[in-house]
Structure 1
Amino acid sequence: MCPSPTNHGHSRGYVIPIGGAEEKINNPDILKKFVELCGGKDANIVIIPTASKLEDTGERYEKLFEELGAGYTYSLPITKRTDAKNEDLLQHLEEATGIFITGGNQLRLSTILGGTPVAQTIRRQNAQGTHVAGTSAGAAIISQHMIIGGSTGIVPTEDGVNLAPGLGLNNQLVIDQHFNQRNRLSRLLSAVSYNPFLIGIGLDEDTAAFINADNVFEVVGSGSVTVIDPSDCDHSSMAEARRGDAITIVNLKLHILSAGSHFDINNKVANLD
Structure 2
Amino acid sequence: MSPAKIEDNQRRGYIVPVGGAEDKDSDPIILRRFVEISGADEARIAVIPTASRLDDTGARYERIFGDLGAGDARVLDYKRRVDADNPEWLAYLRGATGVFLTGGNQLRISTILGGTDVARAIRTANARGVAVGGTSAGAAILSEHMIAFGKSGATPRAGMVSLAPGFGLTNRVVIDQHFRQRDRIGRLLAALAYNPFAVGIGLDEDTAAFIDGDDRLEVIGSGAITVIDASKLEHSSMGAAAAGDSICMTGIKLHILNGGSRFDLHARVATPPPGVTD
TM > 0.5 between the two? Answer: yes
Which residue pairs with 1:262 in the alignment?
Answer: 262
- CA displacement at 1:232 relative to structure 2: 0.9
**Cα-Cα RMSD:** 0.8
Alpha-carbon distance between aligned partners in 1 of 2:3 and 2:91, rounded to the nearest angstrom:
21
2:98 equivalent to 1:105 = no
Which residue pairs with 1:7 in the alignment?
Answer: 7
Structure 1 residue runs of 5 or longer lacking an equivalent are none
Q: TM-score, normalised by structure 2?
A: 0.97
Which residue pairs with 1:151 in the alignment?
Answer: 151
2:173 equivalent to 1:173 = yes
Which residue pairs with 2:32 in the alignment?
Answer: 32
Equivalent residues in 2 for 1:1-273, closer than 5 Å:
1-272=1-272, 273=274
Alpha-carbon distance between aligned partners in 1 of 2:164 and 2:8, rounded to the nearest angstrom:
32
SS of 1:123's equivalent in the other structure is helix
More displaced 10-residue stretch of structure 1: 208-217 or 83-92: 83-92
- For residues 115-136 of structure 1, give each alpha carbon's deviation from its aligned partner in whole angstroms, at most 9, with x where no partner exists: 0000000000000111000000
Letter in 1 for 2:185: L
SS of 1:120's equivalent in the other structure is helix
Alpha-carbon distance between aligned partners in 1 of 2:119 and 2:20, rounded to the nearest angstrom:
21
More displaced 10-residue stretch of structure 1: 157-166 or 205-214: 157-166
SS of 2:45's equivalent in the other structure is strand
Letter in 2 for 1:170: T
Letter in 2 for 1:156: P
- For residues 141-167 of structure 1, give each alpha carbon's deviation from its aligned partner in whole angstroms, at most 9, with x where no partner exists: 011111121121111000110111100
> Paired residues, what number?
273
- For residues 9-39 of structure 1, give each alpha carbon's deviation from its aligned partner in whole angstroms, at most 9, with x where no partner exists: 2111000000000000111000000001111
SS of 2:138's equivalent in the other structure is helix
Show structure 1 runs of 4+ deviating over 4 A. Answer: none
- For residues 58-97 of structure 1, give each alpha carbon's deviation from its aligned partner in whole angstroms, at most 9, with x where no partner exists: 1111100000000101000210001112221110011100
Alpha-carbon distance between aligned partners in 2 of 1:232 and 1:8, rounded to the nearest angstrom:
32
SS of 2:61's equivalent in the other structure is helix
- For residues 148-194 of structure 1, give each alpha carbon's deviation from its aligned partner in whole angstroms, at most 9, with x where no partner exists: 21121111000110111100111011100000000101100100100
Alpha-carbon distance between aligned partners in 2 of 1:118 and 1:149, rounded to the nearest angstrom:
23
- CA displacement at 1:2 relative to structure 2: 2.6
- CA displacement at 1:8 relative to structure 2: 3.0
Letter in 2 for 1:132: V
- For residues 190-220 of structure 1, give each alpha carbon's deviation from its aligned partner in whole angstroms, at most 9, with x where no partner exists: 0010011121100000000000000001000
Alpha-carbon distance between aligned partners in 1 of 2:232 and 2:146, rounded to the nearest angstrom:
23
Letter in 1 for 2:78: I
